[in-house]
């Protein structure tokens, strides 16, 4: 909506790269006065940036941009007049309000041209968007309006949030690159006064630490394969040590031997059979749906690869 300094369109970079406006969060229980990050500017110098990689678990905390700022905005909708469909501030929790491309794009991708000279074949940013072939490239901004549950008489329609927080967390991939991990839009401080069209927009833009990146599966697949393998091996080792302790401290004159082969023969065939029986209908339905939606990849001529 209409925000001071930006009007109706707010570029993300202009929000979070303003050295004069970006601030660190205020003193709270989570971020006390002696918080280590307060010794570093909200937007550190490029030479001071410290990224977090898959093997940087000893560093844990990145040194990267942290920007929090408030904007004063006004609803552009006709508040007293309800719409046929829910307006953006009336959408339910979990609704994707918009999406952000997770990785930054360069000048040529932004303009859709191969050089700095304007040409008749320039495709603009839409040319890059059309080239994206995976939905993981877009990070949805999902709404959280749980604060409306405390409003007397319900707050589904004709109920206006006076505070909107856009919470953007990212992974500092290297010294120069960021990758957005999650975007949340939180509605708060609801009322039912249609004559008042003002609200506050709060922006939070910050880097995740190592633990948060692991929890949100922000690293590559190889790290998690290694992590799960280590957990599995550790579990087996712990179970073996437990068995050895029991074996050495038992009061039985002839303790039973470790029958691994017999145990596997007793349990593994039935587990494998159940797995295959459960997987078969899933594979059939998935294959049928794939051929229904993407069958043109196999059954259309080369002259019409998109099945048009």
Q: Does residue 209 register a pLDDT over 90? A: yes
Spatial distance between the Cα atoms of 238 and 224, rounded to a whole number of angstroms: 21
Question: From its phi and psi, is residue 289 left (phi > 0), alpha (psi between -120 and 50) or beta?
Answer: alpha
In the predicted model, what is the mean pLDDT of residues 206-210? Answer: 94
Which pLDDT belongs to residue 69? 94
Q: What is the pLDDT of residue 204?
A: 96
| 2 contacts 49 by C-beta, under 8 angstroms | no
What value does the mean pLDDT take over residues 286-303?
80
In angstroms, the CA 112 to CA 106 distance is 10
The Cβ of residue 159 has, within 10 Å, a number of other Cβ atoms equal to: 19
Count of beta carbons in the 10 Å neighbourhood of residue 128:
17
Identify the pLDDT of residue 51: 92
**pLDDT tier at 302 (50, 70, 90 boundaries)?**
low
**pLDDT reading at 306 higher than 60:** no
**Most distant CA atoms of the chain, gap in Å:** 91
Neighbours of 96 (CB within 10 A): 14
Average pLDDT of the residues in 152-178: 91
Average pLDDT over residues 169-184: 94
Say whether pLDDT at 308 is over 80: no
Confidence of residue 199 (pLDDT cuts 50, 70, 90): very high
**Whole-number pLDDT of residue 303:** 62
Terminus-to-terminus CA distance in the chain, angstroms?
39
pLDDT at 15 over 70: yes
Q: Cite the beta strand spans of 173-290 per DSSP E.
A: 178-191, 198-207
pLDDT greater at residue 121 or residue 28: 28
Q: What was the pLDDT predicted at 57?
A: 79
Check if the beta carbon of residue 105 is closer than 8 Å to that of residue 128: yes
Q: What is the mean pLDDT of residues 186-213?
A: 93
Between residues 158 and 51, the one the model is more confident about = 51
Judged against a pLDDT cut of 80, whether residue 305 lies above it is answered with: no
Collect all residues with Cβ–Cβ distance below 8 Å to 138 and sequence separation of at least 6. 99, 100, 101, 102, 132
What predicted TM-score, i.e. pTM, was given to this entire model? 0.78
Confidence of residue 84 (pLDDT cuts 50, 70, 90): confident
pLDDT computed for residue 178 by the predictor: 93
Per-residue model confidence as pLDDT tens digits over 37-52: 999 999 999 999 999 9
Instruction: Tell me the mean pLDDT in the region 145-151.
Output: 90
Q: What is the mean pLDDT of residues 287-293?
A: 90
Helix (H) or strand (E) holding 15: helix 12-16
Compute the chain's Rg from CA coordinates.
27
Residue 132 pLDDT level (bands cut at 50, 70, 90): confident
Residues 93-105 have pLDDT tens digits of: 999 999 999 998 8
H or E stretch including 10? Answer: none
The pLDDT tens digits for 227-282 are 899 999 999 999 999 989 988 888 888 888 878 888 888 889 999 999 999 999 99
Q: Sorting pLDDT into bands at 50, 70 and 90, what band is 106?
A: confident
Averaged pLDDT score across all residues of the chain? 89
């Amino acid at each position: 909506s209409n925000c001071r300094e930006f009007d109706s369109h707010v570029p993300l970079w202009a929000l979070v790269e303003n050295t004069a406006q970006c601030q660190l969060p205020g003193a709270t229980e989570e971020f006390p006065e002696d918080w280590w990050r307060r010794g570093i500017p909200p937007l550190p110098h490029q030479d001071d940036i410290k990224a977090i990689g898959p093997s940087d678990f000893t560093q844990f905390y990145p040194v990267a941009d942290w920007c929090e700022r408030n904007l004063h905005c006004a609803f552009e909708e006709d508040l007293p007049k309800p719409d046929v469909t829910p307006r953006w501030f009336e959408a339910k929790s979990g609704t994707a309000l918009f999406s952000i491309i997770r990785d930054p794009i360069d000048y040529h991708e932004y303009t859709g041209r191969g050089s700095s000279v304007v040409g008749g074949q320039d495709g603009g940013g839409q040319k890059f968007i059309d080239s994206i072939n995976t939905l993981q490239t877009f990070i949805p901004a999902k709404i959280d309006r749980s604060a409306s549950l405390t409003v007397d008489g319900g707050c589904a329609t004709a109920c206006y949030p006076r505070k909107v927080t856009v919470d953007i967390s990212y992974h500092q991939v290297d010294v120069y690159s960021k990758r957005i991990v999650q975007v949340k839009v939180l509605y708060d401080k609801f009322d039912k006064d249609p004559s008042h069209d003002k609200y506050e927009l709060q922006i939070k833009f910050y880097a995740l630490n190592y633990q948060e990146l692991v929890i949100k599966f922000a690293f590559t697949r190889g790290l998690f394969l290694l992590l799960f393998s280590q957990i599995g091996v550790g579990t087996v080792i712990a179970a073996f040590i437990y068995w050895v302790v029991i074996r050495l401290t038992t009061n039985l004159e002839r303790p039973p031997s470790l029958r691994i082969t017999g145990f596997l023969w007793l349990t593994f065939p039935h587990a494998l059979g159940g797995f295959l029986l459960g997987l078969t209908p899933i594979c059939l339905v998935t294959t049928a749906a794939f051929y229904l939606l993407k069958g043109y990849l196999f059954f259309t001529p080369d002259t019409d690869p998109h099945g048009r």
